[in-house]
Amino acid sequence: EIVMTQSPASLSVSPGERATLSCRASQSVSSNLAWFQQKPGQAPRLLLYGASTRATGIPARFSGSGSGTEFTLTISSLQSEDFAVFYCQQYNAWPLAFGGGTKVEIK
Amino acid sequence: EVQLVESGGGLVKPGGSLRLSCAASGFTFSSYSMNWVRQAPGKGLEWVSSISTGSSSIYYTDSVKGRFTISRDNAKNSLFLQMDSLRAEDTAVYYCARAAAAYWYFALWGRGTLVTVSS
């Protein structure tokens, strides 16, 4: 089974700054990687799929890159509404798997 | 409005059973594969089970195999999760999630229903 590892576990960033989140797969998942954002008390929301394609309605400040085993989610200029927990998910093989999450906090 | 609404959660004793439902609206339910994802209190997301459009393909995470059964009723736009032999570690918010067309990422989520397994 594929294990997804996210780093760092938490990140303190000032509004307006850039945040870079990493996701690593234990074996290649090609570009079959999605990113989600979850705010407290809410369901997750799809941000990106195919490693780099933004979902409908997602602002351009969210971007993704990578393929194979190494992936990055970048938030170019953090807004107050962006502070949340972010998860990656591989859908290349069964069982489907999420990373452990990265919490982005206000500095 | 496109939405998924879960129901059926609650408090159940270890070894008990519960049946979760997910009502879909605003889209052609029969055209999409569906999933259950759970989140234990204060923890991350965990994929639980998936079912294809016509129920021909069904998948489970190892920890629920033999105890949980996923099913769907396309005529009633509904997804189900029958949970038997429940354990304390099954305590979580259970989300219904719609897959994308042809890919197994979770494009649409419900708000979740809480299942608590405790004596």
Rounded CA Rg of chain B: 13
Rounded CA Rg of chain A: 13
**pLDDT tens-digit profile of B21-73?**
999 999 999 999 999 999 999 999 999 999 999 999 999 999 999 999 999 99
Contact across the interface for A95 and B47, Cβ inside 8 Å: yes
Q: Is B52 within 8 Å of B64 (Cβ atoms)?
A: no
Instruction: Using 50 as the pLDDT threshold, list the residues of chain A that sit under it.
Output: none
**pLDDT tens-digit profile of A4-24?**
999 999 999 999 999 999 999
Query: If DSSP codes are grouped into helix, strand and coil, which group holds residue B50?
Result: strand
Interface mutation target, options B3, B47, B103, B105, chain A, most CBs of A under 10 Å: B105
Query: If DSSP codes are grouped into helix, strand and coil, which group holds residue B27?
Result: coil
Q: Chain A residue with minimal CA distance to B39?
A: A43
DSSP state of A55: P
